[in-house]
């Protein structure tokens, strides 16, 4: 009986043990290679996580746009990939490299950043938006849209120049609300707004929010999500720092409605405790309810100095308050944490 009890306890421990997320060791794929995964977004579908990410070359540069320059520098090459990685549990060593889903010959010529993908249930298509710089020129930065019938690509460009309300455009993320309506949260001249997309997610419908915070000098790398506890929309942004090694302040905004007025709640990384630039907020359904993983790029962090090997920081958002007063707290750097993923959602 004692042996049986011990066995049952061991089985229970295995069933409740969570995925360990490390911020000390580099994330690796199933072959042991370091993930070349930056920017982008992560979708959960078919029982797996799909990370559509920007892949940079095996090259080096000094952190920051002003130090790197634009012409011919590592972060501004024309050959950035949109690499797809998949994993069942987010753990290092579990990620399968599915390859480049948007080959260079399938897209407009220019430096590409911040790709994100959404599935359109009405059309049965996967839709990819990406920011790019024709002639490496920020003054004419814009978005293109590509589609694929397969989540594994390849994607083909169907709209090479999206007309949005504001320009020139910078970082962005596609967001799909619970009713299937698509939106884009994006920056233009360092200012953040949310804009409604057409039903096929290929164009702008034209309606948008006011600028989040006109007094902020410059913001980028926005991400939008619903807090399932309060039901409010949260937009988190980074102060502009372009490939910076020190990281950026994480500004928090919230609204009762997706195209409403967004209230500014200050920074949750005021002292740059997290030396990373925001890229995405990943909602995960866990055995204790919904949690939100903040993901940021740690530019210039790779020991071998290769941009393709720069680390990403992952951390759970911790919350305080209730109702409209429920807000994420100031973040603290953690070497690792556990997350107990629910079987399905």
- Backbone phi, then psi, for 42, in 5-degree steps? -125, 130
* pLDDT band with cut points at 50, 70 and 90 for residue 11: very low
Residue-wise pLDDT for 167-204, tens only, equals 899 999 999 999 999 999 999 999 999 999 999 999 99
Mean pLDDT throughout 313-338?
A: 95
Q: Which helix (H) or strand (E) holds 54?
A: strand 48-55
**321 Cβ neighbours under 8 A, 6+ residues apart:** 327
Distance between CA atoms of 233 and 257, rounded to whole angstroms?
A: 7
Distance between CA atoms of 54 and 81, rounded to whole angstroms?
A: 6
Q: In the predicted model, is pLDDT for residue 132 greater than 50?
A: yes
Nearest to 216 by CA among 245, 239, 247: 239
* pLDDT band with cut points at 50, 70 and 90 for residue 68: very low
**303 Cβ neighbours under 8 A, 6+ residues apart:** 309
**100 Cβ neighbours under 8 A, 6+ residues apart:** 55, 81, 82, 83, 84, 153
Q: In the predicted model, is pLDDT for residue 135 greater than 90?
A: no
Nearest to 164 by CA among 201, 190, 212, 197: 197
Percent of the chain whose pLDDT exceeds 70: 91
Residue-wise pLDDT for 269-322, tens only, equals 999 999 999 999 999 999 999 999 999 999 999 999 999 999 999 999 999 999
């Amino acid at each position: 009986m004692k042996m049986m009890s011990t066995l049952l306890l061991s089985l229970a421990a295995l069933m409740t043990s969570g995925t360990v997320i490390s911020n000390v060791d580099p994330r690796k794929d199933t072959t042991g290679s370091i993930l070349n995964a930056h920017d982008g977004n992560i979708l959960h579908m078919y029982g797996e996580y799909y990370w559509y990410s920007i892949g940079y070359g095996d090259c080096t540069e000094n952190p920051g746009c002003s130090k790197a320059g634009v012409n011919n520098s590592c972060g501004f090459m024309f050959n950035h990939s949109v690499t797809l990685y998949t994993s069942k549990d987010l753990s290092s060593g579990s990620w399968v490299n599915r390859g480049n889903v948007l080959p260079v010959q399938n897209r407009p010529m220019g430096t590409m950043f911040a790709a994100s993908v959404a599935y359109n249930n009405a059309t049965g298509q996967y839709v990819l938006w990406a920011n790019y710089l024709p002639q490496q020129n920020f003054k004419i930065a814009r978005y293109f849209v590509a589609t694929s019938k397969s989540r594994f690509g390849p994607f083909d460009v169907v709209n090479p120049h999206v007309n949005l309300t504001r320009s020139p455009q910078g970082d962005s993320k596609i967001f799909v609300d619970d009713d299937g309506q698509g939106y884009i949260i994006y920056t233009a001249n360092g200012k953040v707004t949310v804009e409604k997309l057409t039903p096929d997610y290929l164009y702008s419908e034209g309606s948008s929010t006011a600028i989040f915070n006109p007094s902020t000098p410059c913001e980028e790398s926005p991400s939008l999500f619903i807090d399932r506890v309060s039901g409010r929309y949260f937009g988190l942004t980074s102060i502009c720092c372009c490939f910076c090694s020190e990281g950026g302040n994480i500004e928090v905004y919230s609204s009762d409605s997706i195209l409403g007025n967004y209230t500014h709640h200050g920074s949750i990384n005021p002292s740059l405790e997290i030396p990373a630039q925001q890229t995405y907020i990943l909602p995960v359904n866990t055995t204790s309810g919904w949690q939100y993983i903040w993901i940021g790029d740690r530019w210039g962090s790779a020991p071998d100095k290769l941009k393709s090997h720069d680390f990403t920081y992952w951390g759970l958002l911790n919350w305080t308050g209730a109702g409209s007063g429920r807000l994420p707290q100031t973040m603290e750097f953690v070497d690792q944490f556990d997350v107990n993923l629910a079987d399905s959602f």
